[in-house]
Structure 1
Amino acid sequence: MPPEQILRAYAEAVYARDTQALLALYHPHVTVYDLWEHWQYDGLNAWRGMIEGWFASLGEERVQVTFDDIRTHVTPDMALVHAFATYAGLSATGERLRAMNNRLSLPLARSGDQWLILHEHSSARRLRKRQGQPPPPGVNGHAEGRASPLPGAARPSGGITAGGRPGRCPRCAARTGGRA
């Protein structure tokens, strides 16, 4: 699989909530810098626990991941893929409920005839707020002014739970009022 195809496989596995397919994209010694409760996961087993919790928290919902501004740099033994990612929460009927944006950087290591994610680094755009004003749509993960599409039931840091209860947006710690 060419390095840029890893993003397609990632999006398909997330949409299908297929833990095994998603984990198959990662190197056994992966290190992940995430934006949720745990900022760092070391090793496939630690990352497996996060993915299982995330998928379990979705209930009937799905997450559609799309990528823009995909860039790659490939050498014989290593590759770098980075892109802007949009995570959109979809209802069981396919209605877009909310979305958030972040950046992904994926250094890949060659393993036989395939590429594996050796490191994943997620980051969000930092916003300087004007005093007393909420963030505008499309920043700090608030695409379309909505809260995170990743329910926080399995994420003790808060966020919108699978039942739509209020929480804290894990992207910017803004108070939310349930599903926006």
Structure 2
Amino acid sequence: MITLLFECIIKKGTSCDRAFLNSLAKNPLMGNDAPLVYIYALGSTEPSIPYPKAIGRTIYIGETQRKSGSWRRFPAHFSGSLTGGVSTQINHTLSIYYHAGVALHLRIFKVNDGHATTEAERVLLRSHLHTFGAYPLGQGGTGKSNTPSEVSRLFIAQKELHISCAELFGCGV
């Protein structure tokens, strides 16, 4: 369903910072309507997140299929400073981590075979919920029914996809 397209460690004050993310505009695979999903996680040298069922690193999972250029989503999540920024695309949790100098591991995946990016994002989110017992720390709400029985039912129905997702999160199922 998804194939890794790009990854890097984003950290304020390095050559791979918020401004660097704007250079992704030059990547022909990340243009308008590119079918992408992405995961922001804590870098491997950062402390882990104690989710209810397992220790994890994932902070945010998103999808990018937008007419304005898919790459624009990556820098838009970070405010220009801790006190500035009014865009509705800013992710408060990611911004706080970024401005605190925390290393963030960004992985961008191409969604294959005509699958909708929203479907791929939903599979990743539900896999995280099933594996860790919670959505990623910076996720917010999804507007979907995620009762324990519904998550278990979907996990069983899409087990191969969820196993692949668990491997992305660095844990077993």
TM-score in same-fold range (> 0.5): no
Specify the TM-score bucket, using the shorter chain as the normaliser: 0.3 to 0.5
**More strand by percentage:** 1
Q: TM-score, normalised by structure 1?
A: 0.31
Q: TM-score, normalised by structure 2?
A: 0.32
**More helix by percentage:** 2
